[in-house]
Amino acid sequence: MDRLIKKNWWKALGVLILLYVFVMGMLVPLKPGITQVTPSATRTNSQIVLDVQGYNTHFDEAKDTMRIWIKMDDEYILAATRITVKGPTQVEAAFEIPAYLPSDRRVQDFALVIDNHIDGAAVRPNALLVTQDSIDLAMGQTVWRSDRMENLHQLKGITFPFRNILGETIRNTYFHVSLWLAMMIIFTAAMVYSIKYLRKQERRFDHWAAALTTVGLLLGGLGLLTGAIWAEYTWGKFWSWDIKQFTTLIALLIYFAYFVLRRSFPDEAQQARISAVYNIFAFVALIPLIYVLPRLTDSLHPGNGGNPAFGSEDLDSTMRMVFYPAVIGWTLLSCWIASLLYRTAVIEEHLWDEEPTHD
Amino acid sequence: MNMFRQTLRLLWRDWVLEWRSSYALSGIILYVIATVVLVYSALLNIGPQLWNAIFWVILLFAAVSAIVKSFVQESQHRQLYYYSLVDPLALLAAKMIYNTLLLFGLSLLIWGMLALLTGNPVKETGLFVLAVFLGSMGLAIAFTFVSAISAKAQNSATLLAVLGFPIIVPILLTLVKIGANALGFIQDTSITGDLLILMAINLTLLSVAILLYPFLWRD
């Protein structure tokens, strides 16, 4: 580590990776999506005209290839009878809902699918709710004129997935989530150095532990801040006492206490030893706080309390191409900052120990 | 003398010391009675939800004032003397066991006082006793170790609060949840899971404390 801090290649690498993350993360457009469908409910045996709002779409340029369906499942699909394009992001589609649905539920939900040659296919799940006047599964299966949904267009170019509610804020994944992961890496490293200090009793390990903890605290603060901004957009409030927000705040308080503890010892060796002990203890106390408790209680975060997980489906391969480099980039940058803090601490100690030759 | 006998002997010594300087124990008991009476006369009508919150909050502060003196009450020289006589881990174990029992007794006192004034809202007594015992154990382990850390600094009482409060939050959150179940205003099927997690937190904190204490006591 001490040889590595004089080398520059990994610092340059970190900065380059972060530049890539910022450029890709901010400039790659979102996949075209559907933001609104009105009306959202109707009855059987009726004609309905749906007003569809698109996002990042080119309906007017792709007027000739526009196709719109409502879809119950892979078998029962209904194509629009008439499509009127109102603008690049607005289109009207008329449907004739038959008298019976091929479903034994009173209220059946339908997904809306739009396809054209520029934007490719876009889906909005649960776009339309249809209430049946009378339920008859057999009648529904005979009445239903099922249309084929074939030859869907593929969108060309690189895009990030479009998600309802999230919209453009999906880009925050590269900041909020990756800062958070980088923080865990840095705190783990700080704990490793605390253990090293207790084993070897060398002062430099204590400097490393303190420097890494400082940077970890900075990353945690930034993670909390980016999270709060994201929460304001998606949940409507900066702070809603979500269990994860709460436990993160407590985790940061534990590490603030580490610095309070450091300052309360005049003797350096004692300070180093006791703060190393506390750092290990705090890290162990952190694990139930961050990994166990949020799973017990309902949370607004994705993957908790019945919310869909933010993983397999949402983090698609394009996002992975930015997300994993972002974690590495933030970690490298944090190591750079920590190495600067470490060198400052070493120089300060050196100056302190030097006998004043003249005054 | 093996470690077990040393621990028992130290436990006895802690009890004798407490009894001789009975001002500390009676101070805590007075605090508990005063707080319960004050809370009762301010609120008069205490529902189960409020009861649960008040119970754990009073226990938390009783724990702080009971445990803060664990390592502070004896001078550095006397501690050095102990360490030369017995295994340091026996000393830590004795303090933790003593504090667990003390907190368990105090929580039974708080429970009794609250029940006397407001009626007993606890529906599942067995579960609540278990929660109280595991909670006393968790608070005792965490606060005893933190008080061992903070005793090394000058203003140890403040430091104990600053270092200890964030660390016991996971224990308290789980306790409040189990308490809510025992009082019957929340029905939860995963209650054994909560108890196991509480036990797991206690054991992890205990094992880390045992691993780290050898680095702490030397001075």
pLDDT in tens, B169-210: 888 988 998 998 888 887 777 788 888 889 998 999 999 999
A253 in contact with B at a CB cutoff of 8 Å? yes
B205/A289 Cβ within 8 A: no
Question: Residue A158's pLDDT is what?
Answer: 82
Which residues neighbour A72 within 8 Å (Cβ) at sequence distance 6 or greater? A101, A102, A103, A108, A110
Paired with A43 in beta bridges are A131
Within a 10 A sphere around the Cβ of A352, how many other Cβ atoms?
A: 8
Chain-centre distance for alpha carbon B6: 22
* Other Cβ atoms closer than 10 A to A92: 15
Does residue A104 belong to any structural domain of this protein? yes
Interface check for A261 against chain B (CB to CB < 8 A): the answer is yes
Minimum distance, in Å, between the CA of residue B146 and any CA atom of chain A = 8
Which of A265, A285, A297 faces B205 most closely, judged by CB atoms?
Answer: A285
Residues A112, A241, single domain; the answer is no
Domain assignment present for residue A153? The answer is no
Inter-chain touch B215–A264, beta carbons under 8 Å: no
CATH number reported for the structural domain that contains residue A104 in this entry: 2.60.40.10
Cα angle A77, A154, A118 (rounded to 5 degrees) comes to: 95
Sign of the dihedral defined by the CA atoms of residues B208, B214, B217, B219, in that order: negative
Contacts of B190 in chain A (CB under 8 A): 296
For strands A120-131 and A33-38, give the pairing.
Answer: unpaired
The residues, ordered by sequence, that sit 6+ positions from A250 with a Cβ below 8 Å of its Cβ are: A289, B166, B169
Residues A71 and A102 occupy one common structural domain: yes
Q: Do B149 and A284 touch (CB under 8 A)?
A: no
How far apart are alpha carbons A152 and A122 in whole angstroms? 10
Q: What is the pLDDT of residues B126-154, one digit of tens each?
A: 999 999 999 999 999 999 999 888 888 77
Give the pLDDT of residue A31. 85
The answer, for A257 touching chain B at a CB cutoff of 8 Å, is yes
Q: Please tell me the predicted confidence (pLDDT) of residue A311.
A: 46
HSE of A160, CA atoms in CB hemisphere, 13 A: 24
Whether residue A236 sits in one domain with residue A257? yes
Considering the domain architecture, whether residues A19 and A46 belong to the same structural domain is answered as no
Structure token pair of residue A136: 């008859």
Residue of B nearest to A243 (CA): B173
For chain B, what's the residue count? 219
State how far the alpha carbon of A94 is from the alpha carbons of A67, A77, A131, A253, B147, in Å: 12, 14, 17, 57, 73
- Within a domain: residue A160? no
Contact A70, A127 (CB under 8 A): yes
Buried b / exposed e along A53-75 (16+ C-beta atoms within 10 A): bbbbbebeebeeebbbbbbbeee
pLDDT along chain A (359 residues), means of 10: 83 94 89 87 87 88 86 85 88 88 86 87 87 82 78 80 82 90 93 94 92 95 93 87 85 90 86 91 83 69 55 66 92 95 91 69
φ and ψ of A42, to 5 deg = -155, 180
Give dist(CA A39, CA B177) in Å, integer: 43
Residue of higher predicted confidence among B35 and A154: B35
Q: CA-based angle A38:A44:A47, to the nearest 5?
A: 55
Residues A215, A190 share a domain:
yes
d(CA B170, CA B187): 21
Residue A134 lies in a domain: yes
ipTM over 0.90: no
Cis bond upstream, residue B214 (ω within 30): no
In this structure, the number of other CB atoms found within 10 A of the CB of residue B68 comes to 22
The strand pair at A107-116 and A90-97 is best described as unpaired
Residue type, A37: V
Measured in degrees and rounded to the nearest 5, phi and psi for residue A241 equal 50, 35
Q: Is the pLDDT of residue B67 over 90?
A: no
B84 touches chain A (CB under 8 A): no
Residues 6+ apart with CB under 8 A from B117: B36, B37, B40
What's the half-sphere exposure (Cβ side, CA atoms, 13 Å) at B172?
22
| 8 Å CB contact of A254 and B167 | yes
Q: CB-based contact (8 Å) between A138 and chain B?
A: no
Task: Quote the domain boundaries for residue A218.
Answer: 4-26+166-353
Domain contains A125: yes
Short-list A328, A322, A317, A63, CA closest to A179 = A328
Is A247 found in the same domain as A173?
Answer: yes
Both tokens assigned to A205: 């390990």
A318, A159 Cβ separation under 8 angstroms: yes
Does residue A48 sit within a domain?
yes
Check CB contact under 8 Å for B159 and A296: no
pLDDT of residue A312: 45
Pairing of strands A41-43, A120-131: parallel
Partner A contacted by B143 (CB < 8 A): no
Q: Which residues of B touch A191 (CB under 8 A)?
A: none
A positions 95-114 inside 8 Å of B (CB): none
Dist CA B170 CA A250 (whole Å): 9
Domain for residue A250, yes or no? yes
Please tell me whether residues A182 and A298 are part of one structural domain.
yes
Integer Cα distance of A245 and B101 in angstroms: 34
Supply the angle between the helices B156-183 and A243-263 in degrees, to the nearest 10.
160
pLDDT for B56: 93
Number of domains in chain A: 2
CB contact under 8 A, B149 and A276: no
CB atoms within 10 A of CB A308: 11
